């Protein structure tokens, strides 16, 4: 599969979503490996089909993340985003908003529903699968502490300039086995080679047994105690 194939597939998916808006208002989330053309084709489609495009990049414009830390009121967000993005105009029913690298801003994900309920703007989100689905599911009846690491696997041949942090090299059979086992967060084929990301979570210590809380305040107090105990 080539980049051209992926771009064509992405474009067709966006077109189908755009047509479906006539029936039901919903956001579009495009997930996949980086640098396969997601953002480029999304921008191209939006510029061709909308009078106004607002592009927000959470990967490179880190300051915009804090705008989503407050109450997710659409009117307030529009005012804040207009002030932080010079030239950004939010024209009701004529504007498409692009949330790029959505996995970098958890609160922006939470803003999708308010924007859809508001109904004045269309919304497309792009990003990797990391953070866009429930990969951090509860794995035991308790609270643990640890860390997570994303491993990028590939079946291509090792190059002389590759180092231990470049890729984890697998045979095609090993790669396909990981797909079958559900270990791959995302994967794609490019120039005859498979590429995919695998999330590994390492649990280092057990903090406390699982428990229920009568209120949000009680939960927040317990979180503070947990942090102090680490």
Instruction: Set out the domains of the chain in order of their start, with CATH numbers.
Output: 3-127 (3.40.50.300), 134-230 (3.30.63.10)
Taken in order 5, 7, 10, 11, the sign of the CA dihedral is negative
8 A C-beta contact, residue 133 and residue 127: no
Structure tokens at 28: 């579009």
Query: What is residue 172's predicted lDDT score, i.e. its pLDDT?
Result: 93
Query: What is residue 200's predicted lDDT score, i.e. its pLDDT?
Result: 63
pLDDT at 2 over 70: no
8 A C-beta contact, residue 124 and residue 179: no
Query: What is residue 107's predicted lDDT score, i.e. its pLDDT?
Result: 86
Neighbours of 14 (CB within 10 A): 19
Structure tokens at 200: 């590994």
Structure tokens at 191: 């120039």
Confidence (pTM): 0.56
Cα separation, 58 vs 124, in Å, equals 13
Look at 48-57, 66-75, 83-92, 124-133 and tell me which has the smallest mean pLDDT. Answer: 124-133
**Alpha-carbon separation of residue 155 from 174, 179, 188 (angstroms):** 9, 13, 11
Cβ-proximal residues to 82 (8 Å cutoff; 6+ apart), any chain: 88, 89, 90
Quick one: pLDDT band at residue 147, thresholds 50, 70, 90? very low
Quick one: pLDDT band at residue 228, thresholds 50, 70, 90? low
Cα separation, 147 vs 199, in Å, equals 11
Q: Which residue has the higher pLDDT, 90 or 189?
A: 90
Chain-wide mean pLDDT for the chain? 78
Neighbours of 86 (CB within 10 A): 6
Neighbours of 47 (CB within 10 A): 12
């Amino acid at each position: 599969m080539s980049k051209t194939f992926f771009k064509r597939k992405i474009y067709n998916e966006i077109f189908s979503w755009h047509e479906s808006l006539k029936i039901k208002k919903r956001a579009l989330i495009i997930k996949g490996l980086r640098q396969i053309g997601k953002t480029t084709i999304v921008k191209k489609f939006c510029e061709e089909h909308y009078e106004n495009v607002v592009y927000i990049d959470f990967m490179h414009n880190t300051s915009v993340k804090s705008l989503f830390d407050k109450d997710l009121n659409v009117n307030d967000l529009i005012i804040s985003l207009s002030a932080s993005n010079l030239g950004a105009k939010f024209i009701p029913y004529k504007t498409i908003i692009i949330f790029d690298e959505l996995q970098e801003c958890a609160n922006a994900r939470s803003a999708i529903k308010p924007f859809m309920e508001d109904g004045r703007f269309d919304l497309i989100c792009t990003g990797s699968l990391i953070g866009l689905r429930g990969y951090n599911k509860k794995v035991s009846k308790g609270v643990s502490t640890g860390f997570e690491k994303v491993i990028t696997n590939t079946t291509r041949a090792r190059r002389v300039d590759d180092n231990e942090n470049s890729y984890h090299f697998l045979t095609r059979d090993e790669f396909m086995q990981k797909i079958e086992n559900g270990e791959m967060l995302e994967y794609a084929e490019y120039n005859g080679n498979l590429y995919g990301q695998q999330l590994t979570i390492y649990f280092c210590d057990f903090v406390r047994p699982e428990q229920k809380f009568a209120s949000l305040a009680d939960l927040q107090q317990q979180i503070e105690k947990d942090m102090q105990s680490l």
